[in-house]
Structure 1
Amino acid sequence: MAGLEYLPSEVVEEILLLLDPRDVAQFAQTCSDYHALVYDQEDQHLWRELYLQQPFDDPRRTVTSLGRPVSAIDWKTELQRIMRVQTVLTRGPMEFSPEERCNVLRTLIRLVNNVIPATHVDSIDPSPNHAWVTVMVRASPILEVDYSSTDISSEEKQLRARLHTYYGITLDDRRLAQRNASRVFVYAMRNYKWDNEFGPFMMDGSGRVNWVHVRAIHHVMSMHIVPELDPEQEDPEAFTLFPMSMPWTLSIIPNGVNLDEVRDWAGVTGRWQCSFCFCDHRELLIFNNFNNNDEEPLHTAIFDDPEFVEVFRSISVDLRVLSTEEDSDHPGRPRINFGGSIDGTANTATIVGYVKVTPDDEIRWHFTSGENGSSIWSSEGVQVGNVRSKFGVLGSWTTVLHDRHDPVGPFWLWKTNDAEEQVAQGTNTNGTATAT
């Protein structure tokens, strides 16, 4: 009986397409000819077809976090990286080297970012990439990390925190001890300096995002909106679906819109909801030892007190683009200067700010707000997920004075309506009724 070696290579490839990619890799080890067939072909037909048969978004239709098409797809390398993720997470990530774990985290983050965008806010279909990443992360301890530990590198902490922010809330995040650990980070005044421009950025002045800080903000804000779990029905593999979880990270780009050709590439114009948290200022000062220096221990017991109160409030914000400024480092993504009103009070409470791309290709939001033309509050945030994502912006607020004893807290800014939808509903972008 004739063996596979007598079959044309095209037929062998068709047979291989019926296999799991890991089985194809095993097949390639059986002899040098098969190894060459699998790995040394000039075209990537086999690997492209293998990739497209897997439960992932088609890379040819995906966009990056800044809304640009994914180019130069290396089908073999991408699929090999994904299969490696599956191997590492299945066996247990801590059994592998720090470098291997970081590579796995980068691949997972790339899968979350590089997805097919939605065309309308009400037509967000689940991304196959997101579904696969969720399943893999949920069954792995990859998000279980002590961010104060010195056993894990700063790079790995940043990658884990970024993936954790995208993922949402884990069962462990619901524990009071974990929630308070995030509160400690968010309300520690020593984490807000000129070095990080009083926002969730690295303390080296680079303007790069500090994902450990963003994750802590996400945790604090999320616990005010996620539904309560019945302790008797806790499922260790449950995934909490809510507006600050993975499905909300994908871009919303209407059909026919090229973000390189529109002024408002970030989708600023429209109505937003801004939610923020704060605690009693006296308790904040006691917790921070009145912010005398960074070496004194923080009085974290305040958060364990049953009488501790963290206030959660929300306001509506109507924003519009005022102007743009070209950014030579990011062609097609100019700085957007915007203004607007708060809760429809166009003549009293106002907001002004800008959106720009950071040195590490994230989207930064800065704005100040106040009343009667005077700025009181200053906020710094980061768009989570892809450009124009429904997830919105997470960040921190304080006063424009940035005095040592000024209050600090987290905020979440997310879009509720585009400008076109507001007009259709009888409201203009200044928050007042339009004539019909």
Structure 2
Amino acid sequence: MLIETAQKTRSAARKLAVLSAEAKNQAIEAIARSLEVAAPEIVAANREDCRQAEADGIAKPLYNRLKMDETKLKGAIAGLRDVGKLPDPVGATQIRRELDEGLILRRVSCPLGVLGVVFEARPDAVIQISALAIKSGNGVILKGGKEATNSCRELVKAIRAGLAQTAVNPDAVQLLTTREEIIELLRLDEYVDLIIPRGSNSFVRFVQDNTRIPVLGHADGICHLYVDKSADIEKAVKVAIDSKIQYPAACNAIETLLIHEEIAAKFLPIVAAKFQEKGVELRGDEKTREIVSMKEATAEDWETEYTDLILSIKIVESLSAAIAHINTHGSGHTDAIATEDPEAAQTFMDLVDAAGVFHNCSTRFADGFRYGFGAEVGISTQKMPPRGPVGLEGLVTYKYQLVGDGHIVATYAGKDAKPFTHRDL
């Protein structure tokens, strides 16, 4: 039963939580070496997953995420080692305060406990999530997409083999393989401290509606680039192209391009030609189609995450109209402005309600690795922290530790109450 697996993970996590940074880093390096040894088996398992997925008619964006060749595996292992180089997020003193002489309060970071991570058919997520979990002192129960079952099995097998040579109990990393186990996992509020779903909007909603465990995640990645009237056209074209085609299946690729009406006649023909050269299907509103011929955009397009070479385009009359469109139709993931007007840029960055708001750069930078987090367990679009790419800092909480010498509250109550010093140390 899954409850027994969760109990083992909880037990392993409690021991992992108190290990030194050196011990955790040794475990991460052992995993890296184990993955390198097992690379032929991992790549072969992934080929089988890809073959079956193609036979089942998998969508191209999902296939691109599923595929893990030797190069992609090497990159994931390099990212794993990068996590090992990061500062230990556990045991950091956030507050050290004297309440009174001899009565010292500390707020200290500590692991969450056990993570339950349900993710799409993306095998490299197994490596990223396992590395972040171990570095942050957490156990993790993984459930990958059914298309990646063979790949995930080989990856977790190698990870656990690596951990077996270290102070970290291999039970700290577990793998689920059936859809039925997801429902059971969501009921384990006694053993699992945080659920991180990575998938479609409907799946994230399903998870939120079927568990009492706190849920961290984002649903759609409906990202925008707004090209302001003061944009540098050459610069804006570069940013637009990269934001869409560098990896269109990613959640931080733009799905809608907004263009100020004063620059549209100059900018739109240039950028549209570039997009069409790259095979991007363009869908535009009425004003857009008066300048460049393309398919008509519908109301549904403004609400759609394509994760493919499809882009909707809208011409707006002002900066405020662009911001209003984004805050109405966006998903709170990442939105960018191209402009040479610093005041317009600051207004955009202040008023757009998203986890990431960029100026004159590609939305594809919204990524834990690119932010220097080493890796990420996912991206959160919720308002409460953690928000945006969730790395190590998002996987720890804190506890208050108070040390006294026979201090009692009665001393500080009543008409003769002694005052607190409340002095930060």
TM-score by shorter chain over 0.5: no
Q: TM-score normalised to the size of structure 1?
A: 0.21
Q: TM-score normalised to the size of structure 2?
A: 0.22
**Bigger relative contact order (CA 8 A; separation at least 6):** 2
Bigger fraction of residues in helix: 2
